[in-house]
């Protein structure tokens, strides 16, 4: 009676590990790209949410500002990676903090006007010449452009 050894041979294990390694090398870049795009989408969602909160606050108009005076502002602080909605008064937009969110690590958010803040009037409209503020959210070579109305 002949007995066969149980288990795998060293060659079978080496081939299996080589195949797993090749698959990991192929999947790695796709996973990293997916994570980057996920962070960009999360930052876009936070910007849209900040815009919605800012419009709601602007329409309430607690300070009673009229005309083209800013009632609320959306600010981006690159050093702390925070997106904030702050109230405005007749002296400026450095009032109370109404809403904030931390942007995902590595995200860069910029507005077309080159400023780090956008303001809304008492009708909830953006205070710009065109009524539109374009933005760009980027991370790791990927970016998404859009606009707030």
User: What dihedral do alpha carbons 30, 36, 40, 42 form, nearest 10°?
Assistant: 90
Asked if 84 and 104 touch (Cβ cutoff 8 Å), the reply is no
- Tell me if residue 12 falls in helix, strand or coil: helix
Per-position pLDDT tens, the chain of length 149 = 667 777 888 999 999 999 999 999 998 888 889 999 999 999 999 999 999 999 999 999 887 888 888 999 999 998 899 999 999 888 888 879 999 999 999 999 999 867 788 999 999 999 987 888 999 999 989 999 999 98
Note the pTM of the prediction, 2 decimals: 0.81
Q: Which residues have CB under 8 Å from 68's CB, separation 6+?
A: 121, 127
User: How many domains are contained in the chain?
Assistant: 1
- In a domain, residue 69? The reply is yes
Q: Could you tell me the residue range of the domain that residue 116 belongs to?
A: 10-148
Whichever domain contains 30, its CATH number is 3.55.40.10
């Amino acid at each position: 009676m002949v007995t066969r050894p149980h288990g795998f041979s060293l060659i079978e294990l080496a081939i299996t590990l080589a195949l797993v390694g090749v698959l990991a090398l192929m999947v790695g870049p796709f996973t990293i790209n997916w994570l980057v795009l996920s962070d960009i989408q999360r930052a876009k969602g936070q910007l849209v949410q900040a815009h919605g909160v800012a419009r709601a606050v602007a329409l309430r108009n607690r300070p009673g500002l009229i005309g083209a005076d800013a009632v609320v502002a959306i600010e981006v602080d690159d050093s702390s990676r925070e997106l904030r909605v702050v109230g405005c008064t007749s002296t400026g937009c450095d009032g109370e903090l109404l809403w904030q969110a931390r942007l995902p690590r590595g995200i860069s958010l910029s507005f077309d006007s080159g400023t780090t803040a956008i303001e809304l009037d008492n009708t909830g409209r953006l205070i710009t010449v065109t009524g539109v503020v374009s933005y760009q959210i980027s991370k790791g070579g990927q970016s998404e452009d859009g606009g707030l109305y």
